[in-house]
Amino acid sequence: MQAYAAGTLPRPFAIVVAAHVSMCDQCRAVFEAHESAGGAVLEDMVQAPVDSGLRDSVLELLDVPVSEPEPAAPVRSGVFPGPVVECLHGRPPRWRKMGMGVKQCLLEDGRSGSVRLLHIPAGQAVPDHSHNGLELTLVLQGSFSDETGRFGVGDVEIGDEDLEHTPIADAGPDCICLAATDAPLRFNQFVPRMLQPIFRI
In this structure, are 34 and 105 located in the same domain? no
Query: Measuring CA to CA, which residue among 173, 180, 181 is closest to residue 79?
Result: 173
Rounded to the nearest integer, the mean pLDDT of the chain is 86
Asked if the structure places residue 81 within a domain, the reply is no
Strand-pair category, 135-141 with 129-131: unpaired
Asked if the structure places residue 80 within a domain, the reply is no
pLDDT of 46: 61
pLDDT digits over 72-81, tens only? 455 667 899 9
Q: How far is CA 79 from the centre of its chain?
A: 15
In this structure, are 169 and 122 located in the same domain? yes
In this structure, are 127 and 181 located in the same domain? yes
Percent composition of the chain: helix, strand, coil (DSSP 3-state, to 5):
30, 30, 40
Strand partners, 37: none
Query: Could you tell me what percent of the chain has a pLDDT over 90?
Result: 58
Q: Read off the CATH number of the domain in which 167 is found.
A: 2.60.120.10
In this structure, are 11 and 65 located in the same domain? yes
Specify the DSSP element, H or E, that contains 151: strand 149-151
Look at 7-16, 54-63, 157-166 and tell me which has the smallest mean pLDDT: 54-63
Residue pair 120/174 in contact (Cβ under 8 Å)? The answer is yes
Domain C-terminal end among 75, 109, 128: 75
Which range marks the domain in which residue 100 is found?
87-199
Residue pair 168/125 in contact (Cβ under 8 Å)? The answer is yes
pTM of the model: 0.78
pLDDT digits over 80-95, tens only? 999 999 999 999 999 9
